[in-house]
Amino acid sequence: MSPTPTLPTLLADLVSDALDGIGATLPEGFSPEISPASDPRFGHYQTNAALVLARSLKDNPRNIATRISDAIGVSELATLEVAGPGFLNFNLSATALGNALTALATDPRLGVALVSSPERIIIDYSSPNIAKPMHVGHIRSTIIGDSLARIARFVGHDVIADNHIGDWGTQFGMILHGWKTFLDHAALEANPIAELVRCYREVNAEVKTNPVTAETARQELVKLQAGDPENTKIWQNCVDLSRAGLQKIYDRLDIHFDTWLGESHYNDRLRPLVDDLLRKKIATRNDGAVCVFFEGIPRLEGKPALIQKSDGGFNYTTTDLATLAYRIHDQQATRIWYVVGSPQRLHFQEVFEIARRHEIEAAMCHIAFGSILQSDPENPEAPPQLMRTREGRSIGLVEVLEEAVERARSTVEEKNPDLSEDEKAAIAEAVGIGSIKYFELSHDRSTDYVFSWEGMLSQQGNTAPYLIYSYVRTRSIFRKLDQEIVPDPKNVELTAPAELALAFKLTQFGDAVAAVLVDHRPHLLSAYLYELARQFHSFFEACPVLRSEGTTRNTRLLLCDTTARVLAQGLNLLGIKVVERM
C-alpha cells in the first residue's frame, strides 16, 4: 500500500496541474515548493512558485499567481489567495484536514516518511574517558546522540551507535601507579569508578609537584604500551570495572549502544597508518616527530597536527584517523556523526582534512554543542559559569539523575499521595530522567544553557513534566468513558476552529521529525511537541469531549487519541518515556 499523499504533496499537485492547464512551459525539473505559512492568519501553507517562474514565463509574479489561482478555481482541498509580491496562500478546507486526520490515525508511522535512500550511519556519542567520572558535559553528548540515533533509525537509516570510550592514553600511567601504591580494595569493590578516579586524581596532583612520581607514572605507561602482562591485567580490570559502572548509568537512562569500540581497539592500526601517511607524503618527519601541515587552510594554518610524538607515542588525532579508516573500510559506513562538544572543533577539522587527503570517502560531521552553565545562588547577578562543584570539580552525572528523580518524587507525593509506592517510584523515575533529557533537547545544541531545576521540572512551559502531563490528559479521557471506545478514524467531521487547528498541527509531525535531521537539531522536534501540547489544551478547553455526541464525539476522541500517539512517539524519539497517570 502506498502511503497517503501528504497535504503539501496534494497542494503541489494542484499547482502543477493548474500550470499544465494554462499551458505554461516550465523549466526542467520544476516542482512547486510548498512551505508552511509564516503566520496562521495567512492560511496553512504557501508557495512562491509564481515568483520562481516569473522569468521563464516572462510575466510578473502577481499575474502568474492570479492565473494559477483562476485555473484552480474552486478546490475541495483549499481556498487560495494571492498575496504580497506574488505568493499563493492556501487555506485548507475542513474536508481536506479531516481526510488528513483519517490518514494519520490509520498510519502506524504517524506520517513520518521513510528515507528513500537509507545510509549506514555511525554515531559516535557519549564516549567518556575510563576512570574519569562522566560529568554533566558528557550528558549533552549522550542525550543528543541517543535522540539522533533514535530518529535516524526511525526514518529508516542503518545506524550503529558507537561508544568510543577513552580507554587508552596517558591517564593510565597515573592510574597504574595509584593502583599499585595505594589502591583501597574495599572501596574499589563498593564503588569502582569513584576509587579509580581517586587513584587518578591523587597521582595527577602529585605529578605536578614531584618529578619522581611523574617519571614513575610515565614508566608504567611505557610498560603498558609494551604489553607488560601485569600492567595489561590491571588495565583490563580498570576497563571492565568502568564499563560495568557506565552500563548502569546507560541502563537507567535507557540508552543502548551497538558497539563499544574504544580507543584501545585501534592500537595496532596506529603505526601502519602513520607509515602509510608518510609513504603518501601526507605526513612529514619533523624533529623526530611526524606531522601533517595545513598551509593555506583557514584556522589550521600554522598549527601542524602531531600524529606521532618524538618518543614514538601516538595521540588522540592518530587514534581518530585510524578509527575513521576502520569505520569506512571495515564497517562500511557512508556517514559518520561525531556528537562532541565545541572545544574539539579544530580537532575534527584537522581529522577531516587529513582524511580527505587520504581519500577517505564518507560524509563526516562534527555535531558540536555548547556548555552547561550554572548561576551562583549567592550572586545571582553574576554571569553564569561552567557548572562545577565547590571544590572546582565537575558535578557527577549520577548525582544529577538522583536529585532529579527525588524532586519529581516529591511532586508526585504532593499531587497524588494515594498512588501505590511502586507507581509513585515509576512516575518519579520517568519524569525525573525525562526532565533532564528534555531540558537538554529543548535547547538548541549550539548554544550554552544555564542549568536550572525549576526550568527542568516545572509543570508549566516547555518541559518534560508538562508534555508528559499532556499525554496523561489525552489518555485520562478514555478512562472516564463508561465503556471502552476505540474512535473510528473514518467518521470525522472537523468544525470548531480548535479542532481544525489541532488536526493541522498533528499532520505536521512528519515534517518536524524530518527537520531534525537536516542539521541534527532535536530541539526542533521538542518545539513541535510543545506547540502540539498547547494546541491540545486549547482544544480541550474549547471543545467538550465527553458531553458531545455522534460524529462530533468520535472526531474529538480521535483527536485525543491521535494526540496521545504523536506525543508518545515524539517523546520516544527524544528518549523520554510517558506514564499513564501522574
Residue 164 binding ligand ARG, by CB under 6 A: yes
Least CB distance from residue 338 to ligand ARG, whole Å?
6
With contact defined as beta carbons under 8 Å apart, do 556 and 542 qualify? no
CB of 524 to ligand ARG, least distance (A): 24
What DSSP string describes 298-329?
TTTTT-PEEEE-TTS---HHHHHHHHHHHHHH
Cα(166)–Cα(265) distance, integer angstroms: 10
Query: Among 129, 171, 318, 526, which residue interacts with ligand ARG (rule: CB under 6 A)?
Result: 129
Q: Alpha helix (H) ranges present in 254-313?
A: 267-279
Q: Which is nearer to ligand ARG, 167 or 195 (CB)?
A: 167
Spatial distance between the Cα atoms of 314 and 316, rounded to a whole number of angstroms = 7
How many residues touch ligand ARG under the rule CB under 6 A: the total is 10
Could you tell me which stretch among 43-51, 127-135, 221-229, 510-518 binds ligand ARG (CB under 6 A)?
A: 127-135
- Pick the piece of the chain touching ligand ARG (CB under 6 A) from 123-131, 171-179, 441-449, 489-497: 123-131
Contact region with ligand ARG (CB under 6 A), list: 13-21, 121-129, 455-463, 484-492: 121-129
- Positive or negative, the CA dihedral 338, 343, 347, 353 is positive
Q: How far is the CB of 90 from ligand ARG (least distance, A)?
A: 45
| Distance set, CA 214 to CA 43, 112, 117, 316 (Å) | 70, 56, 53, 21
122 SS3 class: strand
Binding piece for ligand ARG, criterion CB under 6 A, among 40-48, 126-134, 355-363, 466-474: 126-134
Strand 289-292 to strand 284-286: parallel, antiparallel, or no bridges (unpaired)? antiparallel
Note whether 200 binds ligand ARG by CB under 6 A: no
Cα–Cα distance measured from residue 497 to residue 506, given in angstroms and rounded to the nearest whole number: 14
Least distance in Å: CB of 107 to ligand ARG? Answer: 37
Cα-Cα-Cα-Cα torsion 466, 467, 468, 470, nearest 10 degrees, comes to: 90
Q: Nearest distance from residue 343's CB to ligand ARG, in Å?
A: 9
**Contacting residue, 121, 340, 404, 559, with ligand ARG by CB under 6 A:** 340
Contact pattern from residue 71 through residue 110 relative to ligand ARG, giving x for each residue in contact according to CB under 6 A and a dash for the rest:
----------------------------------------
350/561 with CB nearer ligand ARG: 350
Stretch that binds ligand ARG, among 14-22, 29-37, 122-130, 551-559 (CB under 6 A): 122-130
Identity of the residue, 61 or 262, whose beta carbon is nearer to ligand ARG in the bound complex? 262
Cα end-to-end distance, the chain, whole Å? 39
Which lies closer to ligand ARG via its Cβ, residue 318 or residue 569?
318
Shortest distance (Å) from residue 476 CB to ligand ARG: 43
In the complex, what is the shortest distance from the CB of residue 166 to ligand ARG, in angstroms, rounded to a whole number? 4
Interface residue with ligand ARG among 260, 266, 338, 438 (CB under 6 A) is 338
Stretch 314-333: interaction string toward ligand ARG, x if CB under 6 A: ------x--x----------
From 120-128, 188-196, 377-385, 527-535, span contacting ligand ARG (CB under 6 A): 120-128
Name the residue nearer to ligand ARG (CB basis): 338 or 469.
338
- Measured from the CB atom, the residue of 111 and 128 that comes closer to ligand ARG is 128
166 in contact with ligand ARG (CB under 6 A)? yes
Eight-state DSSP code of residue 23? T
The residue among 96, 81, 6 whose CA lies nearest residue 47 is 81
Shortest Å distance, C-beta 341 to ligand ARG:
7
Q: What distances in angstroms separate CA 503 from CA 37, 81, 164, 524, one per listed residue?
A: 16, 22, 43, 19
Among 8, 32, 61, 128, binds ligand ARG (CB under 6 A): 128
In the complex with ligand ARG, the residue whose CB is nearer, 324 or 576, is 324
Sheet with 87-92, edge to edge strand ranges: 34-36, 45-47, 87-92, 78-83
- Distance separating alpha carbons of residues 529 and 533, to the nearest angstrom: 6
Q: By CB under 6 A, tell whether 133 contacts ligand ARG.
A: no
Convert residues 202-241 into a mask of x (bound to ligand ARG by CB under 6 A) and - (unbound): ----------------------------------------
Residue closer to ligand ARG, measured from CB, 179 or 338 = 338
**To which H or E segment does residue 376 belong?**
none
Does residue number 127 form part of the binding site for ligand ARG (CB under 6 A)?
A: yes
CB proximity list for 176: less than 8 A, separation 6 or greater: 217, 220, 221, 223, 224, 231, 234, 235
At how many degrees (to 10) do helices 421-441 and 136-154 cross?
Answer: 90
Pairing of strands 363-367, 305-308: unpaired
Q: How far is CA 525 from CA 46, 287, 312, 337, in A?
A: 22, 52, 48, 19
Window 533-552: residues binding ligand ARG (CB under 6 A): none
> CA 270, CA 169: separation in Å to the nearest integer?
13
One-letter amino acid identity for 463? T
Q: Which is nearer to ligand ARG, 128 or 465 (CB)?
A: 128
- Measured from the CB atom, the residue of 318 and 474 that comes closer to ligand ARG is 318
Contacting residue, 67, 124, 434, 469, with ligand ARG by CB under 6 A? 124
Interface stretch with ligand ARG, choices 72-80, 125-133, 441-449, 499-507 (CB under 6 A): 125-133
- List the alpha helices (DSSP H) in 364-520: 397-415, 421-441, 453-457, 464-480, 497-507, 509-518
Closer by beta carbon to ligand ARG, 253 or else 340 = 340
Element (DSSP H or E) covering residue 262 = none
> Whole-angstrom Cα distance, residue 114 to residue 571?
19
We find the least distance from the C-beta atom of residue 118 to ligand ARG, in angstroms, to be 23
Q: How far is the CB of 367 from ligand ARG (least distance, A)?
A: 11
What 3-state DSSP class applies to 292? strand
Give the residue with the Cβ less far from ligand ARG, 48 or 319.
319
Where on the chain is the footprint of ligand ARG (CB under 6 A)? 124, 127-129, 164, 166, 320, 323, 338, 340
